[in-house]
Amino acid sequence: MELGVSKVLIIGAGGVGRVVAHKCSRLNDVISDIVLASRTKSRCDEIAAEVKEMTGRTIVTDQVDADDVEATTALLRKHRPQLVINVALPYQDLSIMDACLAAGVHYLDTANYEPPDEAKFEYKWQWAYQDRFREAGLMALLGSGFDPGVTNVFCAYAQKSLFDEIHTIDILDCNAGNHGHPFATNFNPEINIREITQPGRYWERSPDGSGEVAGGEWKTIEPMSMHWDFDFPEVGVHRAYLLYHEELESLCRNIRGVQRIRFWMTFSENYLTHLRVLQNVGMTSIEPVNFEGREIVPIQFLKALLPDPASLAKNYTGKTSIGCLVEGIKDGSKKRVFIYNVCDHEAAYAETRSQAISYTTGVPAVCGAVMMLTQKWKGAGVFNIEQLDPDPFLELLAQQGLPWHVEQR
């Protein structure tokens, strides 16, 4: 990549796309041109107008259906960016990666591929692009959001600078904010509900290290059947439920010697009651049903009824508190730390007209992009974010609005 002439193309003009556009527009010294393209161009135009008003920077907008590889390739050939920041939905990951290969453009995303007809997200589809990206001399950075993303980088930092041996990692995600609606999801409702209605899973090393997945195996539990009351910095004690989350799949391979990795997310009783009812009546299903001669997918219909996550931003109050509780050994003694960030919904809105969930995803996406554009991170192939040097990323993350801390526990 040539420095100083970095053009980025952002795909997806949702909650996260808005933050990425705002943040890129304030990085004149690294990003010379910004293009924002999405399925609905009017949303891009709205963000571009807002950014122009707030920062004075011009963003070029375009329309694309990123499920269509040819159309996406044509978009890349037209605008000739150095890097695509993919913040559309996980369903588009592979088609955008194909287009990047066809047009010779580097790639970054924040969520791993998930087939639309099967609620199952795994890295295997994107890892299968390893040879093609390597041979093309291109870099694909996977999962540069908050979780996955910053949480992986916290683990890489713990490995590099805080521990001699890491034994366990618990990633804990709390949104203690209030949006004032009886029920709403903080990011794409379809993706969010698909994620939390699946069985919980965590990874544990087999006693003799002979398990099939990185020397261990997945332990599966009923959805939301394990919880933990955790004292989160700045927001206090909240009940967190064990979920499967995509970063576990790469971290169990990339953090040396780790014995167990789990992921926990907090939900209020009110949220869980709504979700239980919706599930019981079939509204969270991804199986199409015939309604008055038309096929509809219940969860997609539900998405149409729920508030647009971006619309929650204006009146959101409170904070998110997300981090990694890491246990292990340093200099022969046991050590336990929580590495975390706290993000304020109102501060995120004041800066980028977005709530903290979109903010904590969009800022790390931009930090990952800067690492690639300035070649602090370089390489050919497909990379999970914890495989790269955590230090420059964490330094930039704090400067860009997500300060992080290490607390002894």
Q: Which residues bind ligand NDP (CB under 6 A)?
A: 11-17, 38-40, 43, 64-67, 87-90, 92, 110-111, 145-149, 187-188, 191, 309-310, 357-358, 361
For ligand NDP, the closer CB: 115 or 209 = 115
For ligand NDP, the closer CB: 64 or 371 = 64
Q: Report the C-alpha gap between 328 and 258 in whole angstroms.
A: 9
Q: How far is the CB of 42 from ligand NDP (least distance, A)?
A: 9
Sign of CA dihedral 123, 125, 126, 127: positive
For ligand NDP, the closer CB: 43 or 262 = 43
Q: How far is the CB of 206 from ligand NDP (least distance, A)?
A: 29
Q: How far is the CB of 29 from ligand NDP (least distance, A)?
A: 26
Q: Report the C-alpha gap between 117 and 57 in whole angstroms.
A: 39
DSSP 212-270: TBTBEEEEEE-TT--EEEEEETTTEEEEEEEE--THHHHHHHHSTT--EEEEEEE--HH
Q: How far is the CB of 293 from ligand NDP (least distance, A)?
A: 25
β-pair type (139-142, 165-175): unpaired
Burial of 282: CB neighbours in 10 Å, binned 0-12, 13-18, 19+: exposed
Give the residue closest to ligand NDP by C-beta.
14
- Identity of the residue numbered 303: K
For ligand NDP, the closer CB: 365 or 370 = 365
Q: How far is the CB of 50 from ligand NDP (least distance, A)?
A: 14
Write down how long the chain is.
409
For the chain, the distance separating the N- and C-terminal CA atoms, rounded to the nearest angstrom, is 42
Q: How far is the CB of 15 from ligand NDP (least distance, A)?
A: 4
For ligand NDP, the closer CB: 189 or 328 = 189
- The tokens for 44 are 């891009």
For ligand NDP, the closer CB: 48 or 310 = 310
Q: How far is the CB of 180 from ligand NDP (least distance, A)?
A: 19
β-pair type (200-205, 333-344): unpaired
For ligand NDP, the closer CB: 39 or 106 = 39
